[in-house]
Amino acid sequence: MVKLLVCGAAGMLGRDLVRAAELSDHEVIATGRAKLDVTDADAVNRAVEAAGPEAIVNCAAYTNVDGAESEPEAAMRVNAHGARNVAAAAAAVDASVLYVSTDYVFDGSKEEPYLESDEPSPLGSYGASKLAGEIDTAAVNPRHHLVRTSWLFGTGGRNFVETMLALGSGQDEVTVVSDQVGSPTYTAHLAEGIVRVLASDSYGLHHVAAAGQCSWYDFAVAIFDRASISCSVVPTTTDAIGRPAPRPQYSVLATERDDAVHLPDWRAGLDDYLSER
């Protein structure tokens, strides 16, 4: 059993992580943004000192990919400076820290899955802020896990599946990009994987995402098929949509670690999500 402090526990991943950790008999102290703002270094130090955890999982994040383009300082403040505050506070009480990062640290130019040894090159402000968070976390706490994952969806927050279900229930046709490929990852599965990572002393970079790959278009088709919704999906391009933030066209994650944590296929994640919601 580990005494575990979870930052960002009110978010989509944070909620599932608290549940997964408790089911594994860990003692969990959950803090959401309302209780602990990770950008406030003094508050973080006080909270960590009072909790006395053996490990901290930092799920607190600025996750608005498009918003980060217009307010990069806000993204950096949470995803990098906040991450540094949490990691440093963990080090001060001799606790390990796990930072949740993203496939968006890569530019998507590779034509096969990205490994931990591949060089990051983020396209946008969101990916840049998460990469800075990785660097800052590692710089101040040698006992760090950096867990990169991909295309999260879960019952605890807004996500692509819910968006598609809502659109598909109200209209006959939706348009979805087909030229971005990744691995949709169910947060309940990721949370279980993170708990397994925490149980090891294998510090450093970990790629932990759902098995398999698909485009957003493929994902939408699967959602409607499994939910028995009669709605046509029309493929389009990223350029045609014209979103503010650039996104990697291919950001599938794979691992080269001998002690890798593997998650179920994204289709199994979708099935489990639809059963739980």
Torsion of CA 214, 219, 225, 226, to 10 degrees: 100
Q: Is 126 a catalytic residue?
A: yes
Catalytic residue among 104, 126, 250, 273: 126
Which of the residues are catalytic?
A: 126
